[in-house]
Structure 1
């Protein structure tokens, strides 16, 4: 599966109830698990103990979970809930109707410490025929393996400059997405605005934001 080494295979079924029973989960999210998720398998465990790779400072293990969904469209909150309950980094393989799609979150330790993690955002591949996805395990330690997996799954949306860390690439991508939202919002306001003076003000603001976007993209 995914071209991962055979020695990393785990293949254990995890009851989906594990992620919402006896936990502070909203009725709406419980319903999502029941209606959208069929089966969850823990397929692989990528770690220093299962591969000839050094442990990382931030990443100790990467679990590979296969999540069989009822429909290609699903609620991302499901992945966030699973990520919240598992104190390791997770690569999700979604499967549906003989197609598959890989998801991975940029997951880092929360400021509170302990074993808490937070996921700032998820990256994913397109849906492709089942068995088509393969990923390279590149890196001398688990931190590098994780960073390379995130970049492989994110593709062009997480392109980087030479020497840029994964954290820096993600931060720049988040800034880009925020600017895109502002541009779309301003363009809509300009289309609806009737007063010429106000429209000119909005156009000036839009021009500034577009310059910020050009500067951000120029660093790629």
Structure 2
């Protein structure tokens, strides 16, 4: 996973008091306790916008905000990120830090088609932890803010897809990565298509896990044969979703 060298012109560096987040989202006592327990500091670190990175805005993405979250604990609830996302009316990218390490996290965020003043927020994707001293790379080349947003989120989606249920089938991670390597004549998948692909794989993985659990509980031979057949079918469907790998049978 890449850490980005955010352009100097986009530096914002404003510490955001937690109570400002509480005010914007009408935080419950439970959410406040979560912030106190898990979040040390919230910094609005960079503002990627037409005036700071010289890219034109799009209807869906006028700006992208980068928030750096210093965590008190290694694990951070997505409820905390969701509260910050709800408080800020722009797409966000989070840099989460703890114990000298950093990782990226974000949810796909888009204006509601029914009400352009509201935002639709999807599930969160995150990278692996990296040393905070990891060399950073320049932002990907893009023609506008919308395209940049897709390029920033796509590696997170692809990374989670590649790591999804690694024990479900031999070679699964490699096959998943290959599923995004489209032939030259095929148009690359959009971010929304990649997310839909990941959601389908999540659902199929849950189905495989449920069948495996049923098989472990079942004692009757004839029923185990039937369940094994279901398992082979579900795993084959999972293989097809992962890119059409040639797998071995049971």
Q: TM-score, normalised by structure 1?
A: 0.90
How many Å apart are 1:153 and its aligned residue? 3.5
Alignment of 1:104-183 (within 5 A): 104-132=106-134, 134-135=136-137, 136-158=139-161, 159=177, 160=180, 161=182, 162-183=187-208
Alignment of 1:15-94 (within 5 A): 15-21=17-23, 23-94=25-96
1:212 alignment partner in structure 2:
237
- Cα distance per residue 1:34-89 (max 9 Å; x no partner): 11111101110111121121212321111000111101112111001111121110
Gaps of 5+ in 1: none
How many Å apart are 1:148 and its aligned residue? 0.5
Mean CA deviation greater in 132-141 or 90-99? 132-141
How many Å apart are 1:137 and its aligned residue? 3.1
Q: SS of the residue aligned with 1:45?
A: strand
CA distance in 2, matches of 1:219, 1:146: 29
Distance 1:204-1:181 versus aligned 2 partners, 3 A rule: same
CA distance in 2, matches of 1:213, 1:55: 38
- Cα distance per residue 1:71-124 (max 9 Å; x no partner): 111211100111112111001011112211111111222354232222222221
CA distance in 1, matches of 2:9, 2:85: 24
RMSD in angstroms over aligned alpha carbons? 2.1
- Cα distance per residue 1:125-184 (max 9 Å; x no partner): 211111426352321011110010012334533552342111001100111111111111
CA distance in 2, matches of 1:138, 1:151: 14
2:9 alignment partner in structure 1:
7
In the alignment of these two chains, the number of paired residues is: 220
Runs of 4+ with >6 A deviation: none
Gaps of 5+ in 2: 162-176, 246-250
CA distance in 2, matches of 1:62, 1:134: 18
